[in-house]
Structure 1
Amino acid sequence: MGTFSLAPDQLAWCAELRDLAERRLAPLAEAAEPGRVDRPLIAELGRLGLLERLFTSGALDLCLMRESLAQVCSEAETALALQGLGAHPVHAYGTKEQRGRWLPEAGAGRAVAAFALSEPGAGSDAAALALRAEKTDTGDGAGWRLTGEKYWISNAPEADFYTVFARTGPDAGARGVTAFLLPADRPGLTGDHLDMLCPHPIGSLTFDGVPVGEGDVLGEVGGGFEVAMRTLNLFRPSVGAFAVGMAQAALDATLGHTAQRQAFGGPLKDLQAVAHQVADMAVRVESARLMVYAAAAAYDAGAEDVPRRAAMAKLLATETAQHVVDAAVQLHGARALLRGHLLEHLYREVRAPRIYEGATEVQRAIIAKELYKQHARTPEAHRQEAAR
């Protein structure tokens, strides 16, 4: 398969996913309570084998799943992605016991996972974590008690287990952070729902001396920042795929509307201003799609420049989706603002991806940092420095 094209079997799989989303997933999403974890939807994703595929597929497959589901049912896409984000650190860094206990449950959709990184004072600046892990003597080995808060945590407070990042060492910044696998029934863990513009299952968590031990560590003590960043490097291109799926849905709706809507003596599509805007929307969507696929392919190939590519893909795709959905609303007119209209839904959905898993501004900072690192390694850069 070429980096910038999909094989026939991949295209057929994407079409199958869209069909499943329409027939089996969208009805469950429509019946769910807004702002709460949709367990029937997650269980159906498990029955369809999509959650298990999160742990056996590469980054490109993840992007294809998220893009395809997002075109038809953004709630199903979000449920899939949140399950993957919360459980991936267990898959990648968990012990045999941790994996055996939680991955079958998560893959079947019987246990809901969550990724607990953000805090009231540590959103885009993930290195500013303040959740404390205070050392205790349990008599059975090393242990800690977690004290502090997490905020903006998807699937909280209803998840069954959390990947939690806490500061176990005195070092500031990225050092001294450890990742823990935390079952939701640990004493001292409480939480609340947050009421968002687009009603996703998202909430806050309060840790009042929550006990964790060596058997709860994911990866190495002090290595939690690497767990977080490697997980985000995998999921950032697929956030872009989610955005591309929403943008494609908005574009498809616009093509249908402008081909049928009569105004000024003919269909809207015959107006040059409209036709050119639709063409621009299509170019932007396809450009974002190609960058997402390229970033995912680079991740799967183990390329060195994954952080830069992942940041570029998320940046371009999420900004593109915002533009395309907004343009679609404009071309549809007031009907697109009616509660329940596809574009009204997308207009609320499309805003958050520009913030979570690293805001647009953070992606620009990552891209610039990686570019200068790459430049400093080139022979030409060294020759220029020597000439000075």
Structure 2
Amino acid sequence: MPENWEPYVLIIGVLNALGLGLFTLCYQLFYQTSKPYNRVYLLLQSIKLNYVYVIAGISFIFQLFIYSRLGGITGFIETYESRGDGEGFAGFGLLFIISEFFPIALMFLFYIKAVRNEVWRRPVIIFSFLLILFITCMFFGGLRGSRSNTILTLLHAGMLIHFFIRRFQVKEMVVGLLFLGCFMYVYKFYKQGGAEAVTQYSAGTLDASEDKYNFNMMEMLLTDFARGDIQPYLIYKYQDNKYEPKMGETYLGGLMHFLPGAIIDKDQLTTKKTAATELLYGHNGQAMGFYTTRIFGLLGEYILNFGYYTAFLIYLPLAFFIAKLDKWVYSLSPADVRNFIVPLWILFVIFLFSADLDNTIFFFMKRMLLVIVMLSLVSSKYIIKPTAVRDGQ
């Protein structure tokens, strides 16, 4: 470990500052040269909502099947707690993608009701819905150790309501953020020590001096959201290692990792975990018998591939992507059902900064792909005149 972290933190700060400057300049160019979209997707037939009910029903059945396979909710929690013994939820990935879609379907039904009926926009109904949604999130996947499964769904709902249904007051947003912060803090005890740790924390008997429980909110924000620990450490290891940059191989490996094992030998792929293990430990992970599970973020994965001198260039494709995305968002009409996915795109962009490519692909597959399918099932496409397309500029 470095005796002095300041030089490495400064390098990361400079790289981000240069990247943001490049992003600002290129975003305007990409936005101005992008053409607005001229399609609108409308839900004109209420009978098409039956597709959503069917999807929700399938998701509910899948969740019941998972609980039955694992011995109910108690068995589900015990399975999570035994993950360190080589057990856990291996093989349940696809099932989780389907079973944990139920809260999203519930949210879409509420969104349609609230847009069409003013009664559903009353504060008491909105906050009652958010409470029900939170409980639903905990039942549908919230107990398997992933805070993001619940947090991202609640943020999606909050932004959806704020942008398209009813503007939240500042004090309401503050209360909501405090609730999410408290949930993240308490849930980290469950993530580290299971249900017993939460019980001990609630009773005031938890030994907070243990390393796995010795954390605070600021540390969580800097590590889980900003990668403020691992990215400077990558710079440090670069100066103390004969590591050869992978020149984009981890991006290709991240894409190919999602192909079936019958098509490709995944053990031969150069991925983020193989490259990072080599850099952090100076040895091949296969020879050592383990790979790092750290997440390095947008800037960190670039460093694994191309070094850190030009890491600010990762903001260039980001500017292109966000400019195109903004043009699409500003082209949506108020009645377009695709407004439902706008908060997810916002969360996706935020997620990009703290995630690696494989995590980003999984985020899209789990949280967005089924939403896109659902919206395509319930809506009909129409072409609108260019003069009717609204622009945000």
TM-score (normalizing by structure 2): 0.29
Q: Which structure has more strand as a fraction of its residues?
A: 1
TM-score (normalizing by structure 1): 0.29
Q: Which structure has more helix as a fraction of its residues?
A: 2
